[in-house]
Amino acid sequence: MRALGFLKSSYHSVFAYRFDVFIGLFNNLVVFTIQYYLWKAVFKSSNGSFLGISEANYILYIGFGLLLGQITSNNIDRRIAKGVRTGNIIFDLMRPAKFELQMFFHTCGELLARSFGLVPILVVLFFVVDLESIDLLRLGLFIPSAIFAVVISFQVNLLWGLLSFKTRNAWGLHLLKVNLFPLLSGQIVAFTVLHSVYEGVGEGLISQFVGDLSVGLYWLSYCLPLQAIYFTPSGLLSGLLSWEQVYPHILLQLFWIAILYLTTRYSVHRLINSFEVQGG
């Protein structure tokens, strides 16, 4: 019942600032529109295939990436940072419930409130994505992969928010997050494209510098959990991941969930024990 209280509180707080919700949804749709027409132009100039990737597959990738962006985005890091800055975080720490569970149910409430934004997104997907091309087995695997992505997104944002226990002012962390996360999650460019760019160096189609930069970004992304939030479920459904790559990527998602869980438990324990309320 206590968990239900956290969920309801977060749910209602989102609608208290419903204008921000609409702006966030509008921003996602604008970004998708830009990506859609940009990649349509790229594929048109390449006769429907770019670096071995078909136009239909890539449009499917960014289309369902829009849906993933809606269900995986949360503001738990900013909530923690605000609590640290104002000192109100002490009320969360004093409640007879684990801090991580409180934040998890706050995130669930936020996700439930944002689910209303899925309606216009699904309408957009209906018109721009070839839904008949979706493989039913891939769709079945996409659902648990998307759930894992939501969990990983929560864990990453929770850890990001915990950094404010040390920095106290998290505005710089927020700016770093909004600029770095889309790049390293595959939201801007699919990692399949980066790998294909590197392979194009050997064929003399791409400069060595661009190839080295692409492969460096490709491997860096796999050293971080961000690709498991966006690229894995979207790549799975769109076919950018071959069947030989699908199950290792799902296992990698489970690996990151386990690692992030252990990291979170350790970090919460250490940071809370050494935390001093500002002004206290």
Concatenating the DSSP letter of every residue in 178-201 gives: HHHHHHHHTSSS-HHHHHHHHHHH
Write down the number of H helices and E strands in the chain.
14, 2
pLDDT at res. 70: 82
Q: Is the pLDDT of residue 3 over 80?
A: no
Span 133-161, mean pLDDT?
A: 92
Roughly what angle, to the nearest 10 degrees, separates helices 99-114 and 2-16?
50
Q: Whole-angstrom Cα distance, residue 100 to residue 11?
A: 17
Domain assignment present for residue 194? The answer is: yes
- State which residues form the domain around 207: 2-273
pLDDT tens-digit series, residues 67-80: 888 888 888 888 88
Domain total for the chain? Answer: 1
For residue 204, name the pLDDT band (cuts at 50, 70, 90): low
Greater pLDDT, 203 or 172: 172
Q: Is 253 domain-assigned?
A: yes
The answer to whether residue 205 scores a pLDDT higher than 60 is no
Decide if 128 contacts 61 (C-beta within 8 A): no
DSSP 8-state code for residue 131: G
Q: Does residue 279 belong to any structural domain of this protein?
A: no
Residue 85 falls within a domain, yes or no? yes
Q: pLDDT tens for residues 84-139?
A: 887 778 877 777 778 888 888 888 888 887 777 777 888 888 888 877 778 899 99
pLDDT greater than 90 at residue 201: no
> Is 209 within the bounds of a domain?
yes
Is residue 280 in some structural domain? no
